[in-house]
Amino acid sequence: MKKLIIINGPNLNLLGKREINIYGNLSFSDFFERITNKYPNVTLEHYQSNVEGELIDKIQEVGYHYDGIILNAAAYTHTSIGIGDAVKAISTPVIEVHISNTFSREEFRHKSYISPNARGVVLGFGLQSYELAIQSFLD
């Protein structure tokens, strides 16, 4: 059984409430329940923090013994060299995920410090981006 963790960064705890035109009206907990039920043969965990250092700590904690990390570092994607370095330092493969198409948004969202060290990137498919990342680990 594959062991995967979804790590979400700042403001993703507000899914379903914030900028519904971009992020939709489904909370992450409701979405997580759906995907957990859809993939009963996968051990799925979820972690969210608004604090950069806590995200780095979690990446380091799981980064040597999980089968995969699905990382949506949110705004830290574009600013955090530390998170990028954490992804580079670990042996567990990371898929970078974004709900929106970051390239259709503000210019500063076009740069990722995670992408160069990620196994792959999925963006622009709404919450389905997470599911596509899960499927990439099941092949």
Relative orientation angle of helices 28-38 and 128-138, to the nearest 10 degrees: 30
Q: Can you tell me the distance from the alpha carbon of 6 to that of 34, in angstroms, rounded to the nearest whole number?
A: 14
Per the annotation, the verdict on 39 as an active-site residue is no
Set 66, 98, 113, 130: catalytic member: 98
Q: Which of 23, 66, 76, 113 is catalytic?
A: 23
Query: H-helix or E-strand containing 83?
Result: helix 81-89
For residue 120, the cross-strand partners are 95
* 98 is a catalytic site residue: yes
Catalytic residue positions?
23, 98
